[in-house]
Structure 1
């Protein structure tokens, strides 16, 4: 079944796009499946694609020197996985690992970006949705890092 006619309910990023832009984006999608506990990308790697999660979950993590990876957010159904493709240098800002088997729509970032040129309203709509996701990820990362490194409750600060 093609992504455009998939009976899975629309959630997250897809519900935020007008129907004509959603149809254009989904025309560029390809369905993919990943087993659980698979690294999808590493911080600093080339960001040339992105996904919209259909089922399952993906943990986003940041490498903390001397401590290893720390999960900063978990992406579930309807969530956008990957925004680093949008802005130079187009390198992943975080790492990602599937927490469970994942079914997703995968998008070639170059194809999506090239489509922006012929459809500027589509490009603007996608950029606005991705920018909202970037803001959400920054807040989640900040909160997680404060949890890890902030003052411990119950212990007075010197």
Structure 2
């Protein structure tokens, strides 16, 4: 599982309010398609409850699920890096409660407030690093001799 550190906990206390002021609580029904690989990344979410699968297109086949995200996890980081296009697709597995953010507004906050911006970039970088590590472990389990060697 990726970092359990929540976005709001990653922010200095005096900066949390700036994010909570622009956060929107959303309820998403099962099988809601949130974004598509290659499309414009204009929002991101913190999942409160439920699960969302990330998938990747495979020519001539169904999209392959590459990860499942759940409670307190960041959904979407492509919004932070040009050209602001999704690297994966995403769909809810069941009903999902989440906090949604407008990426353009958050990017503007990051630019205007270097302390908030540094905390946001660090949070996203730690999330990406954790997910890359998790992917490496899964690949070792699938393809490495005797698995990854990690304790069960």
TM-score, normalised with respect to structure 1: 0.79
What is the alpha-carbon distance in structure 1 between the residues aligned to residue 113 and residue 92 of structure 2? Answer: 33
What is the alpha-carbon distance in structure 2 between the residues aligned to residue 47 and residue 19 of structure 1? Answer: 27
Inter-CA distance 90–146: structure 2 relative to 1 (3 Å threshold): farther
Pick the aligned partner of 1:134 from 123, 128, 135.
Answer: 128
Pick the aligned partner of 2:23 from 26, 29, 46.
Answer: 29
Equivalence for 2:47? 53
Equivalence for 2:36? 42
Q: Quote how far apart the aligned CAs of 1:138 are.
A: 2.8
Equivalence for 1:80? 74
> What secondary structure does 1:68 align onto?
coil
Q: Quote how far apart the aligned CAs of 1:95 are.
A: 0.9
State the Cα deviation string for residues 31-72 of structure 1 (Å, max 9, x = none): 111101111111111001101111111111122334422222
Q: Quote how far apart the aligned CAs of 1:147 are.
A: 6.3
Matched, 1:71 2:65: yes
Q: Quote how far apart the aligned CAs of 1:30 are.
A: 0.9
What is the alpha-carbon distance in structure 2 between the residues aligned to residue 59 and residue 141 of structure 1? Answer: 14
Equivalence for 1:4? none
Equivalence for 1:105? 99
Q: Quote how far apart the aligned CAs of 1:141 are.
A: 4.2
Q: Quote how far apart the aligned CAs of 1:152 are.
A: 8.8
Pick the aligned partner of 1:14 from 8, 16, 30.
Answer: 8
Q: Greater Rg, structure 1 or structure 2?
A: 1
Q: Quote how far apart the aligned CAs of 1:117 are.
A: 2.6
What is the alpha-carbon distance in structure 1 between the residues aligned to residue 62 and residue 135 of structure 2? Answer: 15
Pick the aligned partner of 2:117 from 120, 123, 135.
Answer: 123
